[in-house]
Amino acid sequence: MFVSLVCMLRGVNGEVRKWRPAGADRGFTFLRYNLTLAYHRTNLLVRYGSWSASPNGGPLESLGYKQGHRIDVDIADQTWAEAPSFHDILIFNTGHWWWSSSKFDPIQSPMLFFEKGKPIIPPLLPPEGLDLTLKHMITFANKAMRPNGLKFFSTQSPRHFEGGDWNEGGSCQRDQPLSSEEVKEFFSLDNNGTNTEVRLVNQHLMKALEQSSFRVLNVTHMSEFRADAHPATTGGKKHDDCMHWCLPGPTDAWNDLLAASLAAIQS
């Protein structure tokens, strides 16, 4: 979405300077309009890092945990913690990493959730940790956001792996969009398939946003049809890339949705 939006704006005016606000991974300022667009990369929204058992013991050690990842559900990741006080518009997204067993193996490197500096006992499962993280980060963003700032939360970007996940030989070689029936088959929670995480995450997200002042950018369903729009074997990876998107492609439509939402707010 970020790259697509940069390309769109550069088509309007090419007077651009690279500049990154605090914590941003990438950023550009469009000089004529004094407009800064930045990408703040954050995998879980909150601070996390490796955790190892203490020789002195502790609550987690007493339960047999030896190592894992410490997830502080109430501390914003430093990559975006200052963003609400700088940007007038924020677009949040999280999800893929919460269901990634390759990143957080439930046995070898589980997610261990902390709140107020202490481990949460009994330990939470990732979906419960996501709920608590969303609760804290929505509250944090509301308090830290600039006056009259706008907050959006983008729903999940779907993946289209067939025949297994990315590390199981899964591929995406289609050259046509899916039909409505194929979309249902791909993403139905009843099938518990490779790509169902998108709807699982959205369930948690929608529940968390019910009483918030965030606006929702629902990019999921329109993108579920586009199994033909991933880099696949041209992505330069050892496996088919069935998660990221080609440009031009669906992310351009996401920005059209953003533009329409902003126009509706102003009208």
Give mean pLDDT in consecutive 10-residue pieces for the chain, a chain of 267 residues: 94 91 95 95 96 96 96 98 96 89 86 98 96 97 94 95 87 95 90 84 95 94 96 84 94 96 89
Q: Tokens 């990876």 belong to which residue? A: 237
Q: How far is CA 25 from CA 21, 57, 76, 212, in A?
A: 9, 37, 16, 27
Q: What backbone phi and psi angles, to 5 degrees, belong to 89?
A: -135, 130
Among residues 97, 95, 96, 92, the alpha carbon closest in space to that of 141 is found at: 92
Q: What is the pLDDT of residue 165?
A: 84
Following DSSP, what letter does each residue of 123-140 receive, concatenated? PPPHHHHHHHHHHHHHHH
Contact status, residue 213 vs residue 152, Cβ threshold 8 Å: no
CA distance 193 to 266: 41
Contact status, residue 118 vs residue 58, Cβ threshold 8 Å: no
Q: How far is CA 103 from CA 42, 109, 124, 198, 219, in A?
A: 14, 8, 17, 17, 25
Q: What is the pLDDT of residue 192?
A: 76
Among residues 81, 194, 206, 60, the alpha carbon closest in space to that of 131 is found at: 206
The structure's pTM equals: 0.93
